[in-house]
């Protein structure tokens, strides 16, 4: 099942003339305008250093914009008080290229971690972790430590952790960057399933094959600006491709 985002309703994520310049003077993003409706599946593509990761960091409020406004679920992130930040982050499921698993915790403990910080009771944690591990096909590996898992399995644990608290948004930064093509494809299937359940997915990626195959929304960033925003796009601009071929 593919969830069709409704582009006519009010967006759940909205970038309005967003600029980001780092204290070193590096201008990472320039005048970004982007609207993401509920249930969208959006690929952020572009060369390294284009500004994709900065955009992700702004979205999870690790950074604040230098200029402009970012709204998520009607809340302006730049004006959000620090004490409100944990509540905001609980609405998001985060997946990273380097998995960010805790090596001294088991698979179960790693996934349960996202629920522990919410102060949820043990019986609820147990049920939800079992559910999440089942979704990522890791049932039976609960007591295994991350070091004893393959890269794909580790990323699946990270995805289970990202979705265990049923977040409204999944933000992924190069989630298949460290994986072989077959495993990357398996991981993408998981993201599609999560999206189909209703979560909005924003994914920064370099994986051309996957982007081209899925034909989802593609926002291409180049030199800190949005170069292209296609509702059913490819990794490279079709026009540019045909020009190259010609």
> Which range, of 24-32, 108-116, 211-219, 237-245, touches another protein by CB under 8 A?
108-116
Residues 36-95 that bind another protein (CB under 8 A): 60, 82-83, 85-90, 92, 94
Q: Distances from the Cα of 166 to the Cαs of 6, 69, 94, 120, 163, in angstroms?
A: 21, 26, 12, 13, 5
Give the x/- contact pattern for another protein in 182-221, rule: CB under 8 A: ----------------------------------------
Q: Is 170 left (phi over 0), alpha (psi -120 to 50) or beta?
A: beta
What's CA 145's distance to the chain center, in Å?
24
Among 121, 143, 245, 246, binds another protein (CB under 8 A): 121
We find the least distance from the C-beta atom of residue 104 to another protein, in angstroms, to be: 6
Min. distance of Cβ 87 from another protein in angstroms?
A: 7
Among 156, 161, 216, 228, binds another protein (CB under 8 A): 161
Q: Return the number of the residue (87 or 241) whose C-beta is nearest another protein.
A: 87
Residues engaged in binding another protein (CB under 8 A): 60, 82-83, 85-90, 92, 94, 100-102, 104, 113-114, 116-121, 161, 165
């Amino acid at each position: 099942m593919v969830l069709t985002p409704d582009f006519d309703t009010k967006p759940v994520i909205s970038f309005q003339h967003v600029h980001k310049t780092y204290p070193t003077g590096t201008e990472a993003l320039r005048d970004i305008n982007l609207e993401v409706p509920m249930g969208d599946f959006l690929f952020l593509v572009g060369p390294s250093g284009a500004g994709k990761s900065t955009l992700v960091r702004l979205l999870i409020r690790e950074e604040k914009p230098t200029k402009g406004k970012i709204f998520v679920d009607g809340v302006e992130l730049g004006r959000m008080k620090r004490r409100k930040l944990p509540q905001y982050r609980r609405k998001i499921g985060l997946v990273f290229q380097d998995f960010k698993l805790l090596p001294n915790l088991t698979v179960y403990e790693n996934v349960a971690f996202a629920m522990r910080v919410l102060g949820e009771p043990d019986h609820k944690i147990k049920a939800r972790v079992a559910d999440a591990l089942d979704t990522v096909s890791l049932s039976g590996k609960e007591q295994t430590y991350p070091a004893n898992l393959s890269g794909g399995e580790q990323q699946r644990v990270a995805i289970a952790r990202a979705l265990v608290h049923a977040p409204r948004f999944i933000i992924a930064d190069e989630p298949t960057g460290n994986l072989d093509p077959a495993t990357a494809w398996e991981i993408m299937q998981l993201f599609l399933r999560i999206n189909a359940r209703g979560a909005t997915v924003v994914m920064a990626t370099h994986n051309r094959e996957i982007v081209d195959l899925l034909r989802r929304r593609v926002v291409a960033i180049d030199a800190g600006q949005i170069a292209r925003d296609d509702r059913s796009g490819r990794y490279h601009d079709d026009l540019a491709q045909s020009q190259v071929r010609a």
